[in-house]
Chains A and B, each alone.
Chain A
């Protein structure tokens, strides 16, 4: 009796300490975001002196100002456009290739696949230098198309790898049945393989969407003209130009971070699965 209460209190204390540790780190993870939102609701006069987390008179008009005057509305739409285009491009291009690598036989297949995989392993830091030169030559620099194609390439290898691994494990019976019914290869890819690959496509979509939305350096070297810039580059440009306009900058940061946080919370299952599976494969 005595022993069991001793173990009981010990266990409770240990659990409490563990929670205390976990919660304190969790707070450091969330706090900067709360501070970002709080700062975005203050004015140019109060922001340097008011350290409150819940400003007494929240100035929501900062968001309107950032959206209109700061141009973040425009940059937001640009980011949405780039993210959607790149993700669509990656899904179509990589699933076609992954399906062929998994199911078909053709000369050079293994060599091509190895090249895609090698690209995943070999780091080329500063690859943005020749890309800049290339896009200049192709007259694609400072164009949306140039940026979209570059970003499709960035996500290609990993997406092909994930999808091929999935197709390799997928049973072939349904595809065989479709073939007997006279379905073409493209028809089978579209009507049978893609719908079955939904779980892994979700991982591909989420990870590539995050990576495009958050991308900075390629956008920096590709775009000169402001109307084409995505949010990340625009934020740095805004910060450089109006260094002390913290309320508007914080509103811009919130506008940039919010979609990511929402997507992350909705899709966390796929993200956590993607990270852990990717790590085990690696």
Chain B
């Protein structure tokens, strides 16, 4: 009876465990194994390299490091421009205001759309010859500012970063708004009675209480933006001349472009380790902030 009972319990978790074991655990183990080989993904023979793939990544693969810096640059813009915008919008919405729910719904519209849709629509708007943005600039007498936004090496990366921020600020907005709404109104009222104006209230109450929320948003932004790549495929494909390449795009290129499966796995491990390190540092930082 007891045994039958236990077996019955296992039946409940069995489908989940099976799928998880086959499609998560096995690939997870394989990444580490394949990272040590040179393999084209088709031939039955793999050449054992030891750590050579990792050495190549660290010492020879300049495009890999370029793509890492570029992802860092996009992340920096997302952390500043995107999150400040998200916070300001949340702060503007955190009051008795008409159309509040309308704004909330609209600001989260870009995040629910697919990266392919967003990327292709913006690519059309930003097109150098027929795009709407340049069309408007011409009509406003600002023809000097018109350019090939996505195929000019000097603007491509920043343009991609801004579209990425456009697509992503809704997340931060919702989280900041939820955070702001947990601040008790009495705190503001009490400060008002003591003669504080709105700016003092904002600086002395809102900002300090929002620090933990801001750190959470920052962690989500870093992890999300560093790994973003589909939007870039849709907008530039990584070009012009590697100027919008990011790490996951390189992994995809190693696998599909140069058929180097082992190398692609080694890149994945290197990148995963860096991401874990970043989120660990941020986590420690947030613990510290919470104690203060």
Q: Do A and B come from one complex?
A: yes
Main secondary structure of the interface of B (DSSP, over half): helix
Q: How many residues on chain B are close to A (CB under 8 Å)?
A: 86
Q: How many residues on chain A are close to B (CB under 8 Å)?
A: 85
Name B256's closest neighbour in chain A (CB-CB).
A221
Residue contact A93 to B16, C-beta cutoff 8 Å = yes
Partner among B41, B178, B223 whose Cβ is within 8 Å of the Cβ of A123: B223
Tell me, yes or no, whether B97 is within 8 Å of chain A by CB: yes
Residue contact A26 to B103, C-beta cutoff 8 Å = yes
Residues of chain B with a CB closer than 8 A to A30's CB: 106, 109
Partner among A26, A105, A131, A250 whose Cβ is within 8 Å of the Cβ of B23: A131
Partner among A51, A106, A279 whose Cβ is within 8 Å of the Cβ of B175: A279
Given A51-B132, A153-B24, A216:B108 Cβ within 8 A: no
Residue contact B175 to A276, C-beta cutoff 8 Å = yes
Residue contact A97 to B108, C-beta cutoff 8 Å = no
9 nearest A-B pairs in the assembled complex, by CB-CB distance? A126-B268, A100-B12, A214-B114, A130-B27, A97-B16, A153-B23, A126-B251, A276-B178, A130-B30
Binding site for B on A (CB under 8 A): 15, 18-19, 21-22, 25-26, 28-30, 32-33, 35-36, 39, 47-48, 51, 92-94, 96-97, 99-101, 104-107, 112, 115-116, 119, 122-134, 136, 149-150, 152-153, 156-157, 160, 185, 189, 210, 213-214, 216-217, 221, 232, 235-236, 239, 246, 249-250, 253, 256-257, 260-261, 264-265, 268, 271-272, 275-276, 279-280, 282
Could you jot down 28 A-B contacts, CB within 8 Å?
A: A18-B95, A19-B97, A21-B88, A21-B89, A32-B121, A101-B13, A107-B6, A112-B13, A112-B17, A115-B25, A123-B275, A124-B272, A125-B247, A125-B268, A127-B268, A129-B34, A136-B41, A157-B20, A210-B112, A235-B120, A236-B233, A236-B234, A249-B120, A257-B114, A261-B113, A264-B109, A276-B177, A279-B174
